[in-house]
Structure 1
Amino acid sequence: MFDIGFSELLLVFVIGLIVLGPQRLPVAVKTVVSWIRTLRSLAATVQNEITQELNCRSFRKALKRWKRPAWTT
């Protein structure tokens, strides 16, 4: 997803340490990790719902094609 190497991650950590300080940095990291987990969970939920809806639509189309000849005879 993100192409972040070790050097970029270390740079972000050092900047965060300078800006937030050693007391607030762990809290900020926990908060960001929590947001990322929530976003991943939300994305997975949306993906599953879309997949279920597409499967339901394709099933309905197949059912309509299957029932149509019986109605016309």
Structure 2
Amino acid sequence: MFDIGLSEILVIGVVALLVIGPERLPEVARTAGKYFGKFRAMVSGVQRDFNAELQNTELKKLISDQESQLNQLRTIVTETRAELNKSANDVGNAVDDAIKESNKS
């Protein structure tokens, strides 16, 4: 997360030793470590929540796309059924007309 090398840590330690003093340095380091740990845990939680929400968003989009395709398929099936019914009625009418014509003769 933070790209801090050994030399940077040493410089920070020496400056802290000079500014804070050797008596208070362990207490300040302990407190800083505690807060740094809490900060890292909080950042980790935010990243985890962000990734979960991102996956939720992707899943919702995928579900929406699937529902759209399913609705298109339903429309195609309904139209095909209507065309088949019309064709069956036309054939039935043609057969009835042919039977009537043959009975007239």
What's the TM-score once normalised by structure 2's chain length? Answer: 0.59
SS of 1:22's equivalent?
Answer: coil
The aligned counterpart of 1:53 is: 53
Superposed CA offset, 1:26-71 (max 9, x none): 1100111011101110110010011000100100111011111222
Counterpart position of 1:37: 37
Unaligned runs of 5+ in 2: 76-105
Aligned length: 72
Query: For structure 1, which runs of at least 5 residues remain unmatched after alignment?
Result: none
> Matched residues, percent identical?
25
In structure 1, what is the equivalent of residue 81 of structure 2?
A: none
Which residue does the alignment assign to 2:18? 18
Give the partner amino acid of 1:62: L
Q: TM-score, normalised by structure 1?
A: 0.81
Root-mean-square deviation (CA, aligned residues, Å) is: 1.6
Q: Which has the larger radius of gyration?
A: 2
